[in-house]
Amino acid sequence: MNHFPSPTDILYCSSLVVLDATGNNFTGLGNFAGYPSLRSLRIGNNNITAQLPQSLMNSGLLSEFTAPNNRLSGTLSSSISKLVYLGSLSLSDNNISGRCAPRMEAARALRVNFLHPRRICST
């Protein structure tokens, strides 16, 4: 187990494609603006107490974002529909609210798993 404040405090790498920080002791998220090549972000089972980062919504290549079992909060805004390659999104066991954007709900590849037992959206 690591004890860094956030996964983005570890390094800055513009060519980073996969960041798997599952099961560490992270408490924050940091800024994802410096990761333009990021395709997969796995940060589940940490102690992250933060708002969903808007900088992540500009990660145009992101195809997987899994962050279950944290303390993420905030609203799932329509800006998540910018993630056109998103195929896997798991935010279960957090405190997320909002509705999925219609374009996001129509994505055939998207598997969504939000709040159990209540789902914000599903495909």
In the chain, what are the domains? 7-113 (3.80.10.10)
The residues facing 20 across adjacent strands are 42
Confidence of residue 98 (pLDDT cuts 50, 70, 90): low
Distance between CA 109 and CA 101 in Å, rounded?
A: 15
The structure tokens listed for 57 are 């919504």
Quote the pLDDT of residue 45: 95
Residue 18 has pLDDT above 90, yes or no: yes
The DSSP line for 17-35 is -EEE-TTS--------TT-
In the predicted model, what is the mean pLDDT of the chain?
78
pLDDT value of residue 104: 60
pLDDT higher than 50, residue 117: no
Q: Is the pTM of this model over 0.85?
A: no
Q: Is the predicted pLDDT of residue 81 greater than 80, yes or no?
A: no
Instruction: Give the confidence band of 101 by pLDDT, cuts at 50, 70, 90.
Output: low
Whether pLDDT at 89 is above 50: yes
Does the structure show a pLDDT above 60 at 115? Answer: no
Determine contact, residues 35/11, Cβ cutoff 8 Å: no
Asked whether the beta carbons of 64 and 90 are under 8 A apart, the reply is no
Contact at 8 Å (CB) between 34 and 11? no
Q: Which residues pair with 65 in a beta bridge?
A: 41, 89
